[in-house]
Amino acid sequence: AQKVTQAQTEISVVEKEDVTLDCVYETRDTTYYLFWYKQPPSGELVFLIRRNSFDEQNEISGRYSWNFQKSTSSFNFTITASQVVDSAVYFCALSGYQAGTALIFGKGTTLSVSS
């Protein structure tokens, strides 16, 4: 069975702090995709990144970076120099490798950034 665990329910930081959101997954598939989505207070899920299982290269996009470690089944997300606008619920998700497969989401981590 596929499962995604986001152990951190809520995180509070002060602006400009770095913050890492943890994600651990379980799957029996040898190839799969991992995702991060952001859900701001407005409610709409915003796609942030997709990573396939055979590419363990870390990725950086502006203040965002992702660390994928297949050996520990983790796909962690770091926000550098956090801003108030980063306040949202962040979801990690897992899917099979074929298009059209369902996304399996974790329960999300609520990030609150105060000024």
Partner 1 sequence: DTGVSQNPRHKITKRGQNVTFRCDPISEHNRLYWYRQTLGQGPEFLTYFQNEAQLEKSRLLSDRFSAERPKGSFSTLEIQRTEQGDSAMYLCASSVSETQRNEQFFGPGTRLTVL
Applying CB under 8 A, the residues found at the interface with partner 1 are 4, 33, 35, 37, 42-47, 50, 91, 93, 95-108
Eight-class DSSP state of 97: S
The residue among 13 and 45 lying less far from partner 1, judged by its C-beta, is 45
Q: Is 109 exposed, middle or buried (0-12, 13-18, 19+ CB in 10 A)?
A: buried
Q: Rounded distance, CA 22 to CA 36, Å?
A: 11
| Minimum CB distance to partner 1, residue 73 (Å) | 17
The residue among 74 and 80 lying less far from partner 1, judged by its C-beta, is 74
